[in-house]
Amino acid sequence: MSEKTKMTYREAMRAAMREAMRSDPRVFLMGEDVGRYGGAFAVSLGLLEEFGPERIRDTPLSESTFTGAGIGAALGGMRPIVEIMTVNFSLLALDQILNNAATLRHMSGGQFSVPLVVRMATGGGRQLAAQHSHSLEGWYAHIPGIKVLAPATVSDARWMLAASLADPDPVFIFEHATLYPVEGEVDESAGPCDISRAAVRREGRDVTLITYGGSLGKTLQAAELLEPEGILAEVIDLRALRPLDAETFLNSVTRTHRACVIDEGWRTGSFAAEISAQIMERAFDELDAPVARVCSEEVPMPYAKHMEEAALPQTDKIVSAVKSMF
C-alpha cells in the first residue's frame, strides 16, 4: 500500500540524500557551504549534524578542484555527490567534467568507471541577473559519457538520486532553483525511478508540448488555458536530456500532428533545436505544421523583474505559439 507524503522539492532532495547516506557508507556530499550553512538553497540543512564533517564536506571556492576530487573519489570506490552551487559556476569545472569524468571509461577501455553524481541549481526567474540565471543543461546534454537529468516534480526530486548513485557513469542533476519551495506529494514506497524515460504529464490529442525542469509548470498551465479554446494539449516532461527518450515524444507527435518545444535555454543552438531536428528527421510526414519553439530571449538575463519575465518563456507565450499553429 502506497504512503503519500507532502513535502517541498528541497525536502525531497534532502530526504533522498539522507536515505542514500544511511544506506551506503560510501556516499558523501561535498561542495560550497553544504555543511555548516546548510547549502545555498537549504537542501543539505541538518545533514552535517547527522553525518558529521567526514561525509558532509565544505569545500573551498574552487569548482575545478572539488569536482576533480569527486572524480578521484569515485575512481577510488566511493559514491560522491558533488554540489555545485549554481550552473554558471560549473563552467569553472568544465575541464574536469568534459576531459575526465565523461571520458575515463572510454579512454581506459572500460577498466575504470566514474560513479559520480553532480547536483546544481539552474535557471532564471529569481532576479539574480546575468551571472546566476543560466539554463545550460542543454550544453551538458551535448557531451557523450554522462547522463543529464532535470527533475521537474517533487517526486522526481525524491527518487532520481538513488538511481543516479547506482549508475556506474557520471550523472548530472539540474535542479531548477524556482522549484525548491514547490510542494508536492511523494509516494514513499515508490523507490528509484527509471532515469532514462520521459513522462506524459497530461494527455491530449491536438498538439504535443515538450518541455522539462522549471518550464513544466508553465507548460501545464498553458495546456489548461488552451482547453477552453478547443485545443487539447499533450504535455511531455523529458526528465532526462541525455539519454534522450525520443520515442515518447515521437509517439505523441504521431498522434497529435503538431509539436511545440518549451526550453529555457537561448533559442540559437538550444536543446529545443535538437528536439525539433529529431521530430523533423523521424516524424516529418506526421506534421501538420512546422515545429514551434518557445525559448528565452537572446540577451544576458536582466535584473529588473518585468524585464526578466519578458526574457523567459511564459505561459502566455506558449499559448500564443500553439494558437499560431492552428
Name the residues annotated as catalytic. 63, 132
Residue at 10: amino acid letter = R
Q: Are strands 259-266 and 292-296 parallel, antiparallel or unpaired?
A: parallel
Q: How many CA atoms lie within 13 A of 86 on its CB side?
A: 17
Residue of 40, 97, 35 lying closest to 66 (CA atoms): 97
Q: What are phi and psi of 240, to 5 degrees?
A: -125, 130
Q: Where are the alpha helices (DSSP H) in the chain?
A: 9-23, 47-51, 63-75, 94-96, 104-107, 137-140, 154-165, 216-226, 246-256, 271-283, 305-311, 315-323
Q: CA-based angle 213:217:220, to the nearest 5?
A: 120
Residue of 145, 234, 159 lying closest to 194 (CA atoms): 159
Is the Cβ–Cβ distance between 74 and 80 less than 8 Å? yes
What distance in Å separates the CA atoms of residue 30 and residue 62, rounded to the nearest whole number? 12
215-239 in b/e form (b: 16+ CB < 10 A) is bbbbbbebbeebeeeebebbbbbbb
Q: Checking phi first, is residue 120 left (phi over 0); if not, alpha (psi -120 to 50) or beta?
A: beta
Cis before 60 (ω within 30): no
What distance in Å separates the CA atoms of residue 7 and residue 182, rounded to the nearest whole number? 8
